[in-house]
């Protein structure tokens, strides 16, 4: 993952649209570009399995909440746009044609091999500051999930893929990693 090195230059969302193509995956955090690498098979499987369980929970209860995954933009301000792997948004007023305007309630990032610090440090800090309520970091290689619930001062709660992991946003939802069909 490459970070823009010129700290004097702060890019904006308008610059992002002008400087990149539809093919490139780039995030803008505090005015700096971050290239997003292409996802691998395990990453895609995890994103599919996790989002499927959350979607089923929301749908089965008839909740108005929305779940988005993949290339879905989250816009915090003119200098910050990220594309979380999974975003859960309870307030439909935050949704626009371009994505989510403001903090989703729950974000799940799946760690890409080679640059875990982007999810564990850069995005963690950004999501905390911007008001994301719950943040999960899923590490497929280590088969580990780190849970943060900022509103309840829960930081770095560690779980394994052998568990069902409870959400703090939805008291009766647990994502069951042990039943996931992860094959390569």
% of the chain surpassing 90 pLDDT = 77
User: CA 23, 29, 35 angle in degrees (round to 5)?
Assistant: 30
Judge whether 156 and 148 are in contact, CB under 8 Å: yes
How far is 146 from 166, CA to CA, in rounded Å? 12
CB 81 within 8 Å of CB 20? no
What was the pLDDT predicted at 8?
63
Among residues 19, 134, 136, the alpha carbon closest in space to that of 81 is found at 19
- 129-148 pLDDT tens trace: 999 999 999 999 999 999 99
Provide the pLDDT for residue 24.
Answer: 77
Domains of the chain: 39-179 (3.90.1570.10)
Per residue in 70-116, pLDDT (tens digit) is 889 999 999 999 999 999 999 999 999 999 999 999 999 999 877 78
Residue 4: pLDDT band by 50, 70, 90 thresholds?
Answer: very low
* Torsion angles phi and psi, residue 175, rounded to 5: -85, 120
**Arithmetic mean of pLDDT over the chain:** 91
């Amino acid at each position: 993952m490459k970070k823009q090195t010129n700290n004097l230059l702060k890019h904006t969302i308008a610059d992002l649209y002008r400087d990149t193509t539809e093919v490139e995956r780039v995030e803008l955090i505090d005015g700096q570009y971050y290239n997003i690498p292409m996802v691998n098979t395990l990453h895609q499987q995890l994103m599919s399995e996790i989002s499927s369980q959350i979607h089923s929970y929301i749908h089965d209860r008839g909740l108005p909440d929305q779940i988005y995954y993949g290339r879905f933009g989250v816009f915090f301000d003119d200098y910050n746009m990220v594309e979380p792997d999974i975003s859960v948004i309870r307030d439909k007023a935050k949704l626009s044609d371009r994505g989510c305007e403001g903090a989703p309630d729950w974000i799940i990032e799946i760690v890409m091999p080679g640059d875990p610090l982007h999810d564990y440090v850069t995005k963690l800090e950004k999501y905390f500051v911007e008001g994301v309520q719950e943040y999960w970091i899923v590490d497929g290689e280590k088969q580990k999930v780190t849970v943060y619930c900022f509103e309840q001062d829960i930081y770095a709660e560690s779980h394994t893929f052998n568990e069902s992991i409870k959400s703090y946003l939805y008291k009766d939802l647990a994502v069951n990693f042990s039943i996931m069909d992860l094959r390569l």
